Amino acid sequence: MGNVSEMNQEMDRQGRGGLGPSTIESRYVLEDVPFGLLPTELLGKISGNQANPS
């Protein structure tokens, strides 16, 4: 089995692309980033607990 990039490329070749958003207009990008991710990061900074992506 290859790395994630190789597996994704093979899935795309086979016509079995992922189920994630296909455009930047997706609600996940337009809603979750400004109303979820950024406030979480700012609250972490204010409280002294850095919110690191993992």
- pTM of the predicted model as reported, rounded to 2 decimal places: 0.46
H helices, E strands: number in the chain: 3, 0
Sequence letter at residue 22: S
Structural domain contains residue 35: yes
* CA atoms of 11 and 16, how far apart (whole Å): 5
How many domains does the chain divide into?
Answer: 1
Residue 7 lies in a domain: no
pLDDT at 53: 64
Quickly tell me which residue has 């079995």 as its tokens: 16
SS3 26: coil
Domain for residue 5, yes or no?
A: no
Q: Residue 53 is part of which domain span?
A: 21-54
Q: What local confidence, expressed as pLDDT, does residue 48 receive?
A: 93
**Is the residue at 43 inside a domain?**
yes
Structure tokens at 27: 């609600």
Q: 15 lies in a domain?
A: no
What is the overall mean pLDDT for the chain? 83
Confidence band of 1 (pLDDT split at 50, 70, 90)? low
| Higher-confidence position of 42 and 29 | 42
Question: For 12-36, how does the pLDDT look when each residue is reduced to its tens digit (9 = 90+)?
Answer: 899 887 777 777 777 777 888 889 8
